[in-house]
A and B are shown apart, each in its own frame.
Chain A
Amino acid sequence: MDALIPLFIVIPLISAFLIMILGKLVKGFHRYFAPLTLLVLLAMTIIVFANLGGSSLQYTVGGWGLEKGIPVGIFMVLDAFSVLMLCIINLLGFIALFYSFSYIAKYTAESNYYSLFCLIIAGMNGVVLSGDLFNLCVFLEVSVIASYALVAFGVGKTELEASYKYQILGSLGFMLILLAVGLIYWKTKTLNIADIRQVFEAGYSKPYYIFVQVLLIAGFGLKAAIIPFHAWLPDAHSSAPSPISAMLSGVLIKAVGIYVIIRLFFNMFVFSYEIALVLTSLGAISMVVGSLLAIVQWDLKRLLAYSSISQIGYVLMAFGMGILLLLRGNNEAAAVLAIGGGIYHMINHAVFKGLLFLNAGSIEHRLDTRNLKEMGGLSTAMPITSTTSFMGSMSISGIPPFNGFFSKLIIIVAAINGKFYLLATLAVVVSIITLAYFLKFQRFAFFNKSAGEALSKIREVPFPMSFSMIVLATLCLALSLLAIPSVSELILRPAIDVLMQSDLYSTTIIGI
């Protein structure tokens, strides 16, 4: 199973360029090849997920292992946390690709779309599997550059402006990340994440350490869109084509933003109190400000984009609380709850935010508008969209028995156990505000009296789009089974262990 690790990156890369060449010669080639690629990736993910257990696999690229005890090559690491991220990326990628069969048919350059989509998947797989700091930066840029092109895909006025803003801020983030990587290399003389951990465990100088961590929070915060680095997200996620919005909001800001912050701050840097405080407060502020900005929106996809900022704030706050509880030392059960709640909410948010963006895409496909004031009465005209969107809205607001309730409950219980009463109150208040604006979405889009005769002639969306939405809605219900303690011991506990026992990470990977 070791040999499967580089294939996660090689297969989408080959298929992206094969689609570029053969898409012009053979008509309709991309319609069969791209979903075939993603099915192969999904099968490989399931094989790896079933066989991994709690162990960590590593792969040395080029055969360059340890020379005299120093890792000189590029290492690729597959452990329990990475495999959960791989599941999210490939599953949501396949569903968004299946959705876009009927959605993208109205654009002209279809083969370019599928080729860029495979490149995004390849880049994100590379970020999640990388054990080397600069390798992570390169794959991050591969996926992000493909997403710049996909946001500007239908070349209208708003798409181009949104893509321009996104690109400038994304490049600024990459420059800050590169500066931080250079400064880390200067002190540690190595780029391997496990080796850097061992150098930092031996000793570091405090001002340099905090400066590097702040640079990394700023750089990856620009990619993950936490407040105050969120300015590009509403424009980019609302102007992109809807399956790309689902990929961006559901997977990209997690795989290249939150995942890297968690991996570096848990497994590479030694915990420090001030940075944990910064992470928790940034998460809490994102939570509150994102939801307050979402209430006043009348554009459907802009509302969903601001709601993404709010939910990512939940995840970051949960992980920050985990670090603070681990530093205090006496309440390990609460730390396990907090980190587990963070991972569970990350998985849940991918599923229900993807579902909500696909619903918005269906409405836009039939009505050609995103303004909530112009919709109404769609619950009888589009039954599948209406039902799945109702399930998605109830999930994200935290209504039992959907999955959002359980993950938010775990985070709030962890906050109360760790005596963070202010954060628990904020989490409950933001959950109520989330319910408020999703009820606004449901009422104006589906349950209002119809605004005119033309709306009653709308039919349901074609089969690929409705199939994707039904699959994601079923997953919303099925993922609430993860809250059962015996199931979460099997699936979530290995990931939590990888993050909490960071010294085990470095000794397993290098073997010193």
Chain B
Amino acid sequence: MEGMSIIVKKVTQLMVGIIFMFGIYIILHGHLSPGGGFAGGVLIAGAFILLILAFGSSSLKLKKEVAGSSNTESIGILMVVVMAVMAMLFGAKVFFFNFLPKGEAGELLSAGVIPLYNIFIGIEVAGAILTIFLALIIFKEESSK
């Protein structure tokens, strides 16, 4: 599909980096303020989708892109489950246990294993939403040929 006008392209070039950074900020501060994995992941996917919408998909190799985002999503979920199962080896030996040291309340590096869960869930949700979007574009391209 074609890109948009030059004003949209310039503004997107300026804004995409900021949106991406904002998404990472919301993921990392998930244990201190509202947000967390889901909301931050959607924002990161939004940054990529804005880029594809503004510049058109004719310069991308769509099959490679969708394979990349699908693999990212699967790796994100696998890391979450592997970490939950690893918790069965430390500490109280139950599933999903919080086995890293919990620091002070209110610091960025605290609450044990929760920031790691947030990061992996954020990667997974971003990959999932990007895969949905790319799959819809691929279907439209293939059926309009």
Contacts and interface: CB of A to CB of B under 8 A. Distances in A.
Contacts of B84: 10
B98 A62 contact: yes
Given A3-B88, A10-B84, A24-B67, A59 B78 contact: no
Contact of B96 (A13, A18, A21, A62): A62
Contact of A20 (B70, B81, B97, B98): B70
Interface residues of A, number: 15
Contacts of A60: 94
Contacts of A6: 88, 95
B107 to A, nearest CB: 22
A430 to B, nearest CB: 45
Interface string A44-60: 00000000000000011
B11 interface: no
Interface string A1-13: 0010010001001
Interface string B94-121: 1111100000000000000000000000
Given A62-B96, A63-B92, A21 B75 contact: yes
A60 B96 CA distance: 10
A443 B78 CA distance: 51
Nearest to A19: B74
A53 B132 CA distance: 47
B85 interface: yes
Given A3-B88, A17-B74, A21-B74, A59 B67 contact: no
A23 B71 CA distance: 11
A471 interface: no
Interface in B14-48: none
Q: In this complex, which of A3, A13, A59, A62 has the most chain B Cβ atoms within 10 angstroms of its Cβ?
A: A62
A10 B86 CA distance: 12
Contacts of A61: 94-96
Given A3-B88, A20-B70, A63-B92, A14 B78 contact: yes
Interface string A286-321: 000000000000000000000000000000000000
A129 B39 CA distance: 29
Interface in B62-78: 67, 70-71, 74-75, 77-78
Contacts of B93: 3
A17 to B, nearest CB: 4
Nearest to A21: B74
Nearest to B72: A21
Contacts of B96: 61-62
B81 A13 contact: yes
Which of the listed residues B91, B96, B97 has the most CB atoms from chain A within 10 Å of its own CB? B96
A63 B71 contact: no
Nearest to A62: B96
A99 to B, nearest CB: 26
A501 B84 CA distance: 35
B73 to A, nearest CB: 8
A21 B71 contact: yes
Given A3-B88, A10-B85, A20 B74 contact: yes
B94 A17 contact: no
Contact of B97 (A14, A17, A18, A62): A62
Contacts of B67: 24
A3 B82 CA distance: 15
Contacts of A18: 74, 78
A347 B70 CA distance: 38
A167 to B, nearest CB: 16
A507 B140 CA distance: 57
A17 B120 CA distance: 15
A62 B114 CA distance: 12
A59 B81 contact: no
A59 B92 CA distance: 12
B68 to A, nearest CB: 11
A10 B81 CA distance: 7
A280 B78 CA distance: 45
A191 B58 CA distance: 51
Nearest to B75: A21
Nearest to A76: B95
A17 B84 CA distance: 15
A1 B67 CA distance: 39
B91 to A, nearest CB: 8
A62 B95 contact: yes
Contacts of B77: 13, 17
Contacts of B71: 21
15 contacts: A10-B85, A10-B95, A17-B74, A18-B78, A20-B70, A21-B71, A21-B74, A21-B75, A21-B78, A60-B94, A62-B97, A63-B92, A63-B94, A63-B97, A63-B98
Interface of B: 67, 70-71, 74-75, 77-78, 81-82, 84-85, 88, 91-98
Given A3-B88, A21-B75, A61-B96, 12 more contacts: A10-B81, A13-B77, A14-B78, A17-B74, A17-B78, A18-B78, A21-B71, A21-B78, A59-B94, A62-B95, A62-B96, A63-B98
